[in-house]
Structure 1
């Protein structure tokens, strides 16, 4: 379940299920803006991602990887989750898995946030991975210099 931030043109994951949303409403007496009480939702993708980042900050890669994998399985539309997973796969020398995760980060739903420029960097490295050489996104990055810069220039390869 997600919240829509209309003024910002983005979607933000809010709850893992309708059941958790209903639990949150009940705890807040159906007035969440007045009470602002949060609930525990440990298996929610955003929480899994948050815990994974804490693990990474303390050097616990082995603990972070399964959490990142679960976050991307639960909410595959979020580019940020895929990028974090791609970077960790790259650290583990899992080149093909890193390339796939980076591609998923680029192809994720941009309403959840425009991918970070690190995604383009990872995808440019994926051009040398045999299974990705024919991918149209990888080819575009390799041949035309696709980037995540929009507007402000007379000519732009993104369009």
Structure 2
């Protein structure tokens, strides 16, 4: 994992170990501007981009969300210095042109102003920096559909479905649209495409949920295809969703958080740029 050149300007949690789905694998908290109660800033390496310096993300523990606020540690440090004793505000797109969160909110404004081309450009940039940015993927899917770019919309819908809930809501509209699409050669071997008509993307409040075995099978299929980026992404999503279920539900589906986390770390070592397990 590529470390920031100015890493020593923050105080990393040296004892941090990934053992549960939140925060996600690839996130490492630091002490600066920590609010307590699990709300903290930290380094986050987007999946498949471990050879690039991490972004700085912010965890919202009560809602199990991660906000991809700053594009680099340098950007965070500049905002923190400017804020002095106050909590640093999220940057605007002018202050941090590569901030995934700033790009996403700028894109939403472009959509409101009916400027689809601008929204697509901003969202493509946001999802390049952070491919598993679920909310940005969902909004980009909608814009691709709007302008008739069906092939891109299909790929983005699949990416939104496998991306973690900490980065956005389950993409129900994208799934419904995907179910309406005819067979297409370029995704016919994709596990999510194959099970799209069986998925519901609704979780919690039931004794059983057929999505979980479907998603677990999809993980194994991605692994058998050596599509390790997709496998690692979906594993994070699977872990997060199941972790939000009751203990008895997890037991019915043979889910044990520490064991699954260890499997995630193991699989991540097969990524093109190596493991997502951080050791300081």
Find the residue that maps to 2:210 and give its secondary structure. coil
Does residue 32 of structure 1 match 2:59? Answer: no
Q: Of the candidates 143, 147, 153, which is equivalent to residue 88 of structure 1?
A: 143
Aligned to 2:211: 158
Displacement of 1:155: 3.9
After superposition, what is the alpha-carbon deviation per residue over 1:75-129, rounded to whole angstroms, capped at 9, x for unaligned?
1111111111111111111111100011111122332234231131132134533
Per the normalisation by structure 2, the TM-score is 0.51
| Whole-angstrom CA distance in 1 between matches of 2:169 and 2:103 | 20
Tell me, yes or no, if the aligned pair for 2:200 and 2:211 is still in contact at 8 Å: yes
| Whole-angstrom CA distance in 1 between matches of 2:159 and 2:97 | 24
Q: Of the candidates 58, 80, 102, which is equivalent to residue 47 of structure 1?
A: 102
Tell me, yes or no, if the aligned pair for 1:120 and 1:141 is still in contact at 8 Å: yes
Does residue 7 of structure 1 match 2:68? Answer: no
Per the normalisation by structure 1, the TM-score is 0.85
Aligned to 2:127: 72
Q: Which has a greater percent of helix?
A: 1
| Whole-angstrom CA distance in 2 between matches of 1:54 and 1:120 | 24
Q: Which stretches in structure 2 are left out of the alignment for 5+ residues?
A: 1-55, 213-280
Residue 113 to residue 55, structure 1, CA distance change in 2 (3 Å): closer
Displacement of 1:38: 5.6
Displacement of 1:58: 1.3
- Answer with 95-104 or 115-124: which moved more: 115-124
Residue 53 to residue 113, structure 1, CA distance change in 2 (3 Å): closer
Does residue 141 of structure 1 match 2:190? Answer: no
Displacement of 1:154: 4.0
Aligned to 1:125: 180
Q: Which stretches in structure 1 are left out of the alignment for 5+ residues?
A: none
Displacement of 1:10: 2.4
Displacement of 1:74: 1.0
